[in-house]
Structure 1
Amino acid sequence: MTDHRLLEAKLESLFAYMTGDHKGRWGMDIEQWDWVPGVGIVSIMAYGKRTGSEPVIRYVREWAERNKEKAGGAKVINAMAPFAVFPELYRLTREERYLKQSEEIVRWMMNEAPRTREGALEHTVTESVQFREQAWADTVYMAVLLIARHAGLTGDRAAAAEALRQTMLHLRLLQEPETGVLFHGWNCEAGDHMSAVRWTRANAWIALAVPEIVEEIGGLVDIPEELHGRYAALAKGLLSYRAAGGLWHTVLDRPDFYKESSGSAGIACGFVKAARIGLVDPSYAASALLTVEGLLPLIRANGEVAGVSGGTPVMESAEAYNRIKTYPTLYGQGLTMQLLTEALAIE
């Protein structure tokens, strides 16, 4: 059993490092409005909410206030990630601006955001590059999670139905029937998975997002058996690829590649969330503790998480994923923070 005092100390160090002055560092500058700080701020909110820490929650509120002029400046799918804290901020403060902007962004995604020919949200980014007609696993966490949270807050059945539709589309397009795990992306024009790499962090985005999406929308729409079956197959497949020390290699089926922290944390955290709502057997939550033990030595004394791969588009080969440099990032910090926060509740 992991020592809760150790987890709490590590969480405090993660928070301190994330909220320090990292101006100008792409992976660690939280004063931006994009997916990297988005995952960071969503994770900080999850930590504050679980522990009831007023200073942590206050930080999220102050961050939202400081960055409100940047919100919505770039309407692309990856830049939707920070908005996922708005439904919770509205619950806490009842400030209408959070509800209003959440509604505006969700409507944009439902009615205007680019889609592939299958109807999946096209993966768009703030960088000057286009991924036309491509569906990526990342989108489920960066965008669909917000739609689900807004639906759960407001009781919006249309938004709930869209969250479910996008989740199922991404699972159908990306899941490999033989193994249950996911490819990183799908090219709708070519009708293929491009390099067809089973990238670990891609699997983490969906493994982590789906349980929360189901929890948020379960009272508004019927969750199909297909989703249960696909998630169970995903979890089983992922567990089969985990290395002895509790982590996953940066490409699931390449044990000769380096082990990667952020994807490992995201997958294990997803297991805990999924077990809590009955998507998988309770043993998956207990199994996540091995990943916790594997990650703890990678959290340095200053709170920096080591072994986190940098930002990664769909690469041209499996080997290219292994060449991605590792360095500290807010998503690596955040996914580790989310796992340790969930581990506090494991019996």
Structure 2
Amino acid sequence: MLNTTGTPELRAGLERQIERVVEQMMDMKGSLKESAPIGIISMENWEWPQGVGLFAIYLYFQEKRDPAMLQYLTDWFDRKLAEGPPLKNVNTMCPMLTLSYLAEETGKTAYLDACKEWLHYVMHDMPRTPEGGIQHEVTGQLNPGQLWDDTLYMTVLFVARMGILLKDDRLIQESIRQFLVHLKYLTDPVTGLFFHGWTFEGHHHFAKALWARGNSWYTAGLVDYLEMLELPWGVQEFLVTSLERQAAKLRELQDASGGWHTLLDDPSSYLETSATAAFAYGMLKAVRKGILDASYAECAWRAFGYVVSQIDADGVVQGVSYGTGMGRTLQDYRDIPICPMPYGQSMTLLLLVEALKHG
């Protein structure tokens, strides 16, 4: 599928779809009994899915400058900060990325103070693995010695952003170290894709899962990371060539429908919409920014077509897998239930907004 967003009629239709997706995300309540220690479906909770959703809304606000969206975001944080945020860990850190932008946008001292408090935790108290990697501690689980690919999006983007906001190069260097350590241990040298996790306790990649959404955190997160800051040339080339290898294999593994399977190299596992949206967003943005070759646009537009086909008449994104812990077997990934989730809405939103820039 080639870019078909250029005509005024199609762009207007895309705008209407964006509004429906945003509305459904803001009001998301959940449709199944949750297994996560903190609920991860409803936008009334404070966890990583809500963090991803809030960031997507903020990026859309940057495009539209709609005061109602800014009000939604500030109301959300005012309410949650007054209630008292949850225990700090890798995943609950995710909303802080959006708060760092709101601190600058609004000038609210309370927002900046909260960001500094959480940043201090990352830099001084958050558990580390050997070689200084951020241990993927989550609500209810310490996960000692474990590196997960999710961490780069959930926590490291916030560290980099605070480096820019506070003009503190030490934070930029820490974000670089985290990208390098994670890629050192999570990259599959055969495919160029990323394993879900690595443990220093036993020195293995668990089920050796080439899990789609985990991979997509790199595809989507890297383009935003590179947009945030200027990196040393050697570091940038390392990260970009890692993206190029990943994208080349993704293009090879893309399903005829345009989507990707939740286990990227296993066609018997189900197609998963949130990862497909994040891959398409990352590729389209990377092409627009000149990070990836223009030939990847066709792959991304095919994925765009698949994602659009998964948005129902109400704006709910279907085909999204529930939160996924570290699987000990590949079957664990195949068995994750499917239900609408904030990150399905948010990654779809990022993709739809990016598509408007290619008209």
Question: What TM-score do you get using the length of structure 1 for normalisation?
Answer: 0.94
Q: How far did residue 54 of structure 1 move?
A: 2.2
Counterparts of 1:341 and 1:188 in 2: how far apart (Å)? 40
Aligned equivalent of 1:243:
255
Mapped partners of 1:133, 1:70: distance in 2:
32
Mark the CA change 1:19 to 1:163 in structure 2 (over 3 Å): closer, same or farther.
Answer: same
Matches within 5 A, 1:135-284: 135-218=147-230, 223-284=235-296
Partner of 2:105: 92
Q: Could you tell me how far apart the structure 2 residues matched to 1:68 and 1:339 are?
A: 30
CA distance, structure 2, for counterparts of residue 71 and residue 276 of structure 1: 40
Picking from 306, 310, 325, the partner of 2:322 is 310
Q: Is this contact kept in 2: 1:285–1:346, CA < 8 A? A: no
**Retained in 1: the 8 A contact 2:40–2:48?**
no
Question: C-alpha displacement at 1:264, in angstroms?
Answer: 0.7
Match of residue 29 from structure 2: 22
How many residue pairs align between the two structures? 346
> Alpha carbons of 1:247 and 1:325: their partners in 2 closer, same or farther (altered >3 Å)?
same
SS in 2 for 1:67: helix
SS of aligned partner of 1:47: helix
Alignment of 1:53 with 2:53, yes or no, is no
Cα distance in 2 for residues equivalent to 1:222 and 1:62: 41
1:289-332 CA-to-partner distances (Å, cap 9, x unmatched) read: 21111111211112111100011111122222111110011111
Q: Is the 8 A contact 1:160 1:221 kept in 2?
A: no
Q: CA deviation at 1:10?
A: 1.2
Counterpart CA distance in 1 for 2:233 and 2:121 is: 21
156 and 273 in structure 1: CA distance in 2 versus 1, 3 angstrom threshold: farther
The answer for the alignment partner of 1:131 in structure 2 is 143
The farther-off stretch of 299-308 and 12-21 is 12-21
Deviation, 1:282, is 3.0
CA shift, 1:109, in A, is 0.8
> What is aligned with 2:135?
122
- Please list the CA deviations of residues 175-196 of structure 1 after superposition, one character each: whole Å capped at 9, or x if unmatched: 1111110110001111111110
Unaligned runs of 5+ in 1: none
Query: Quick one: structure 1 residues 166 and 221, their matched pair in 2 at CA, closer, same or farther if it must change by over 3 Å?
Result: farther
Aligned-partner SS, 1:186? strand
Q: How much has 1:222 moved relative to structure 2?
A: 6.3
Please provide the CA RMSD for this pair: 1.9
- Structure 1 stretches (4+) deviating beyond 4 angstroms? 219-222
Paired amino acid for 1:62: D
Structure-2-length-normalised TM-score: 0.91
5+ long unaligned stretches in structure 2: none
Aligned counterparts of 1:222 and 1:60: Cα–Cα separation in 2: 37
Going from structure 1 to structure 2, the CA distance change for 1:71 and 1:225 (only over 3 Å counts) comes to: farther
For residues 237-271 of structure 1, what are the alpha-carbon distances to aligned partners after superposition, in whole Å with 9 as ceiling and x for unaligned? 22221111211001000112110001111111111
Deviation at 1:228, TM superposition (A): 2.3
2:20 corresponds in structure 1 to 13
Distance in 1, matches of 2:270 and 2:143, equals 27
Asked if the contact 1:151–1:216 (Cα under 8 Å) also holds between the matched residues in 2, the reply is: no
Do the aligned residues in 1 keep the contact of 2:40 with 2:47 (CA within 8 Å)? no
Change (3 A) 1:219 1:184: closer
8 Å CA contact retained: 2:187, 2:195 = yes
DSSP-derived class of the 1:135 partner: strand
